[in-house]
Amino acid sequence: MKILTLGTLLICFMFTSCSDDDNTTPLLEVASKTVSNLNAPQVGGRGQAISGEFTKFNFATGQSTTSDTDWDIAFRGTSIIVNGGTSLGTTDEPVRTGIAAAYIESGTLASVTEVDLSLLTQDSANGYAINGWYSLDTTTYILSALAGKIIVVKTHDGNYAKLEILSYYKDLDTSKESRYYTFNYVYQPNEGVTTF
Amino acid sequence: MHFITKLLIMKHIFILAVLNSSFYLAHAQGSVNDTTKVKQLEEVVITATRTIRQLSSLPLPVQIISEQEIKNSNSLRLNDILSEQTGLISVPNFIGGEGVQLQGLSSQYTLILIDGLPLIGRSAGTLDLRRVAVGNIKQIEIVKGASSSLYGSEALGGIINIITDKPKNGFNGDINYRLGTFNTNDLSTSINYKKHKLGVHTFFNRYSSDGYDLTENDDLNTVESFSNYTLDTKVTYDFSEATNLFVLGKYFTQNQDYVASSALKGESDINEWNTHLKLNHKYSKKWGSYFEFYATRYKTKDYLNNENGSRYSSNHYNQLLIHPETQVTFNPNDKNSFIGGIGFNHETLDRTDFTTKPEFNSPFIYAQYDGNPTEKLNVILGARFDDNNKYKSQFSPKVALRYELNKKIAIKGSIGYGFKAPDFRQLYFDFTNATAGITVLGYNAVTDAIPQLQAQGEIASIIVPISEFEGSLNPENSVSINFGIDYKLSSNLKFSLNVFRNNINDLIDSRVIAYKTNGQKIFSYYNVNKVYTQGLEINASWKPINQLKFSGGYQLLIAKDKDVESAFKNGKMYARESPSSPSFQLKKDDYFGLYNRSRHMANLKLFYTISKWNLDTNIRGTYRSKYGLFDSNGNDTLDTHDIFVNGYAIFDLAVNKTVYKNYGLGFGIDNLFDFKDTQNISNITGQIIYGKLNIKF
């Protein structure tokens, strides 16, 4: 897994750089990054019971992690879970230890600029918070990430991030192996800030 | 029989009553010698009103295809000839059947009748038109717009009624043989006998082909080799001038290779029979009635074997329809006619992947008034009520008006309700795909199947509560509006224009209702979509001289899903430039519409007769503009940035020559310029060359 910095989005909040007598610490930079080929294997599927470790991801570090607690979202096959709420009950699903939540908003990564707190949902026994991000061609069985589905995430420790899944295939090539996520994301490192 | 009895009943159409059987004969034979006679007569249709009506005076949009046109075009199967008509297109579905799209509605919304009675046996909604041989067809009648007021379920987009040959006076017959590309053999023969009271007509057809392959790099053929047989026998008996009997028996059987991969091979079979008995009686000049009993069964079987000969899979499908009906006709005077009918549909299905052997019982009643309050105004009012044990009862009204502005111009309009009952699959399916692991449940199967799966510990979560499945699924329904103008410049030059709109509600779609512990989804059906189709249709025909006829047609079509359209309007739709590039927002005008709909369709035909050589020749062209088959940019809808199938035109050429009066020789090239799009269009094979021989006795 490699991480690229695509470009940076500098958020200039009121007074941050202009006022001399401002005591607040300057806000951290909000950057748009890409995660490529994050492997999310699973065992089973296609009629067989699904199991296997989820591949966990932490937005603050921009890295996958094996930590039991410091993860925000995790991937296994097409399933995406958040570190908040309760398990759906499938085999090998990790215990939720954080306060993570998520929802899907229509838009482009740039056009989603604010978190709508009222929409945030956690995983539960009735289903995952992140659902319906892809479509499956029933003749070719090629899976594609739906356009304009921006996943807005509250991280396990209460910060916010947004991401757009681009591909489910290795090197963005649908003829190669599946269960390799590539996505663009923006992490808001400043605590409590709900804008991007 | 249909024809003759109706002729007897409908005295008020004086021209027909007077000409009665002589008209019938001229029309039915349709041979070269008779054409001039036929042309002088008004064309008549039976489908639009269930009474014999002059085509030109109808307030509804109706097209007919004559026997002559079918013969001159050297068509073999129903799809060949239908797809040459304005606004109709033969569309292959994903399992290989070919159905008809009409006014932008897909094939499950068009009722297909033979002599007024429905064909059954649809797979995934498609009634495969290739099942129907055209060799014994006298006329095809196409009524556009919802017609459930007379025909009930499925007559949502329109009706296609195939009128077949009936016994006529004399003893005669013919043999036809056609051999063409792909070793396609078509042999048919008909024998006709009628003397005094008894008439018999038999038609036999054998049709076979080696099939064809458009994609060379796999083990499958696009169409595997097959052979099929049709046998159709009718007996008529006239007890008296006023009473007659008609009996039909028809049988169709097909055997086809079934290949799933290099290792999995087998066969598939279709067996279908139809029986029809109809007793007509005319009580007086004003009153008449008939009773009919119709039964049909459609059965399929298929299997696949492994290389070692062991059975890999097998499927069966067995549908039965029993339909008794009685109709009464009352014609108080020349200007008014009433019909009323009552009947019953009993339908059962036994097939693989069903929870039960479901049974539909549906009594129905209908009535229609057809009258001319003034010389220039024609009014049709009709309504039908269909009760059913498995879904909501339906009331289907219809109104149609035609007003003659003057001898040349008439305006007409109609509005009607149409519905399509949920099919057995949407109600009773209980299917789990062995490879993908997806389960699909019919609406009525959910309340039993889900608790059962729960008890077995297979359900992880329920998305849609079972309580939502305690009601009943609504039939898909529509209100259709047609408005048209007929303009007859002269007896040789005619135009007609029809503007249409179909508003369809409660379209049935599938959605995820639960997740299984194995991570897979369970789907079921629900009423959701609202779609509309609208457009206009223009038809023109011109006969500059007796030997030459031009005809042309054009259809403009816009077919859209209302919810998707408003999502585009509200800026909620996105797409990707390439499959894995970031999304961008689509504009309102980027919505193209439903899949597999072409905005423009057109046809142009030229028929030319060279009398001194006894030669009939024609060239026919059809065009359809670009259309989309699937989403290619990540939004599950068709927008202008998607990949489209390019528009195309196909030209067919046919030449037929009569020698020594009773012998005919034919030659033709279908798809003259060898058009193919192997990736997108599975039913266009490229150029087909054939020769034909015809003997009459």
At B642-666, the pLDDT tens digits run 999 999 999 999 999 999 889 999 9
Q: What distance in Å separates the CA atoms of residue B328 and residue B51, rounded to the nearest whole number?
A: 11
CB B103 within 8 A of CB B61: no
Determine contact: A143 vs chain B, CB below 8 A. no
Beta pairing class for B226-238 and B243-259: antiparallel
Confidence of residue B636 (pLDDT cuts 50, 70, 90): confident
Q: At B568, phi and psi to the nearest 5?
A: -65, -45
Number of Cβ atoms within 10 Å of the Cβ of B181:
17
Residue type (1 letter), B463? I
Tell me whether residues B519 and A45 touch, CB distance under 8 A. Answer: yes
Residue B39 confidence (pLDDT) above 60: no
Question: With bands split at pLDDT 50, 70 and 90, how would you rate the model's confidence at B298?
Answer: very high
Tokens of A89: 């009950």
What residues of chain A lie within 8 A of the CB of B572, using their CB?
106, 148
Smallest Cα–Cα separation from B524: which of B560, B564, B470, B565?
B470
State mean pLDDT over B528-542: 94
Q: What is the pLDDT of residue B326?
A: 97
Grade residue B21 by pLDDT with cuts at 50, 70 and 90.
Answer: very low
- The pLDDT value given to residue A25: 63
Q: Give yes or no for residue B24 having a pLDDT over 90.
A: no
What's the average model confidence in pLDDT over B151-157? Answer: 94
- Average of per-residue pLDDT values in chain B: 89
Whether B60 shows a pLDDT value over 90: the answer reads yes
Rg (CA), chain A: 17
Task: Look at residue B37 and tell me whether its pLDDT is greater than 70.
Answer: no
Chain A contact for B520 (CB, 8 A cutoff)? yes
Beta-bridge partners for B521 = B515
Q: What is the CATH number of the domain that holds B60?
A: 2.40.170.20
- If one compares B494 and B33, the residue with the highest pLDDT of the two is B494
pLDDT (average), residues B388-411: 93
Q: In the structure encoding, which two tokens stand for residue B86, read together?
A: 């304005």
User: B439-449: per-residue pLDDT in tens?
Assistant: 889 998 899 88
Q: What is the least distance, in Å, from the CA of B318 to any CA of chain A?
A: 27
Measured CA to CA in angstroms, residue B45 lies from A103, A146, B54, B63, B470 at distances of: 59, 50, 6, 9, 44
Q: What is the mean pLDDT of the segment spanning B35-46? A: 63
What pLDDT does B41 receive? 62
Residue window 635-664, chain B: list those with CB within 8 Å of chain A: 635-636
Question: In sequence order, what are the residues at sequence separation of 6 or more whose Cβ sits closer than 8 angstroms to the Cβ of residue B120?
Answer: B296, B298, B319, B321, B347
Domain that holds residue B565: 2-696
Quick one: pLDDT at residue B624? 96
Residue with tokens 């991401």: A163
| Alpha-carbon gap, residue A79 to A74, rounded angstroms | 8
Separation of CA B336 from chain center: 31
Q: Look at residue B410 in the predicted model and tell me its pLDDT.
A: 96
A93 touches chain B (CB under 8 A): no
Instruction: Assess whether pLDDT exceeds 90 at residue A17.
Output: no
Higher-pLDDT residue of A49 and A6 is A49
Minimum mean pLDDT range among B238-242, B274-278, B507-511, B673-677: B507-511
Mean pLDDT calculated for residue range B614-632: 94
Q: A46: which chain B residues are within 8 Å (Cβ-Cβ)?
A: 435-437, 520
Tell which wins on pLDDT, B402 or B262. B402
Report the pLDDT value the prediction gives residue B456, as an integer from 0 to 100.
79
B117 and B123 Cβ atoms separated by less than 8 Å: no
Q: A146 and B634 in contact by Cβ < 8 A?
A: yes
Q: Say yes or no to pLDDT of B575 above 70.
A: yes
Is B10 a residue whose pLDDT tops 50? Answer: no
Contacts of A37 (CB under 8 A, 6+ apart): A1, A2, A170, A171, A180, A181, A182
Determine the pLDDT at residue B56: 87
Structural domain count of chain B? 1
Selection from A98, A147, A84, A58 nearest residue B583 by Cα: A147
| Helix orientation angle between B14-29 and B2-9, rounded to the nearest 10 degrees | 160
What value does the mean pLDDT take over residues A132-152? 84
In B52-93, the DSSP E strands lie at 53-54, 62-66, 88-92
Instruction: Report the pLDDT value the prediction gives residue B436, as an integer from 0 to 100.
Output: 62
Per-residue pLDDT tens for B424-473? 888 888 888 766 667 889 998 899 889 888 887 778 777 788 888 888 88
Copy the structure tokens of residue B44. Answer: 């008549």
